Amino acid sequence: MTKTDFPPIIAAKKAAGKAAAELIEDGMLVGLGTGSTASFFIEALGLRCQSGLKISAVATSQQSMRQAQKLGIPIQNSDSITFLDLTVDGADEIDHHKNMIKGGGGALLREKLLATGSREMIVIIDETKLVDQLGVFPVPVEIATFAYRSTLARLEEKGYQGVLRLNRDTSLFITDNGNYIVDIQFNKPILDPASEHERLKVLPGVLETGLFFNIAGRVVIGYEDEFVKIQT
């Protein structure tokens, strides 16, 4: 396939995913992210495993787990792991301080668990994910299904404009953990992601937020011309 066969943004995501797969070493326990960029990473990692790379992996979603299994990447049960060497995952927005919004694919809870349980989280993005300040992409928040209307009311009381995430067929989106996602639109830049996270996290019913801070290590940025930059 030539690089003109798919849209430039896809070429950028693929370049980032492939470059990150080159950073994986024999013997590592690797967290597999979720989303289109992560899927390119898993594809490239699968090829490396087929050529003899010896690793094991834990996935942040059923979707990523299925893809990895099909490619022959050895998958470990999440119950059996404590720390991981690396987690490689995408982002919806990332600022200059490596604060991120994640959860566009609805896997934020597992993504945060594996990323914070890893010696390093490598973020893989196309260039459009780089922002000066977070806040244009809605912040995904995972909430319990039990009494969810009361959680929604509590969020509204605190001034948040949240929308329950739906599937294409308008049924409610349910995460791999059996919860709902509320996408919260901040109509202003998120200047202090840690405090915004804390304000949300204390509300009963809120299980996790898609605000990630002090987590990202290297950032692998793919560009439309397939150039890749690794920020340390």
Measured CA angle at 33 (ends 27, 94), to 5 deg: 120
> Contacting ligand 5RP (CB under 6 A), which of 11, 21, 55, 103?
103
Task: Report in angstroms how near the CB of residue 60 gets to ligand 5RP at its nearest.
Answer: 7
The smaller minimum CB distance to ligand 5RP, of residues 147 and 227, is found at 227
Residue 111 bears catalytic tag: yes
> Contacting ligand 5RP (CB under 6 A), which of 31, 90, 138, 205?
90
Binding flag, residue 14, ligand 5RP (CB under 6 A): no
Distances (CA, A) of 108 to 100, 139, 179: 11, 10, 11
Binding flag, residue 76, ligand 5RP (CB under 6 A): no
> Contacting ligand 5RP (CB under 6 A), which of 15, 21, 32, 33?
33
Task: Report in angstroms how near the CB of residue 89 gets to ligand 5RP at its nearest.
Answer: 5
Binding flag, residue 193, ligand 5RP (CB under 6 A): no
Residues annotated as catalytic are 111
Contact residues toward ligand 5RP (CB under 6 A) are 33-38, 89-92, 102-108, 111
